[in-house]
Amino acid sequence: MSKNPFINALAASAYVSLIALGILNVPQKEPVLAALGPLIFLSVFVFSAGLMGYLFCLQPLLLALRGESAQGVALFLKTLLWFALITMLLVATYTVLL
């Protein structure tokens, strides 16, 4: 995505938030349609894995392939750290709102 770890982590958090909001707003359907649940779940899971791989790993991998392994590792770890901080902020906000 970008070489800014905060932007990468923010994009990942935004995507996860959109998926969660979508899941919360799905109306209940007939049991026959519920059979599609596992298919939809696995499809979203696989898509999410690909998107998170893109957001977290593409730029670090490109840096490593250019011979800048230290910068690639640093970018990956910074992105992961920002994502963890955003997640902890969300959990803390949720805890306070309970």
| Nearest by Cα to 8 from 88, 77, 92 | 77
State the pLDDT confidence band at 76, using cuts at 50, 70 and 90: very high
- The per-residue pLDDT for 33 is 63
Condensed to tens digits (0 to 9), the pLDDT of residues 23-32 reads: 777 776 666 6
Q: What share of the chain is helix, strand, coil (3-state, %, to 5)?
A: 85, 0, 15
Contact 59, 44 (CB under 8 A): no
Mean pLDDT of all residues in 62-83 = 96
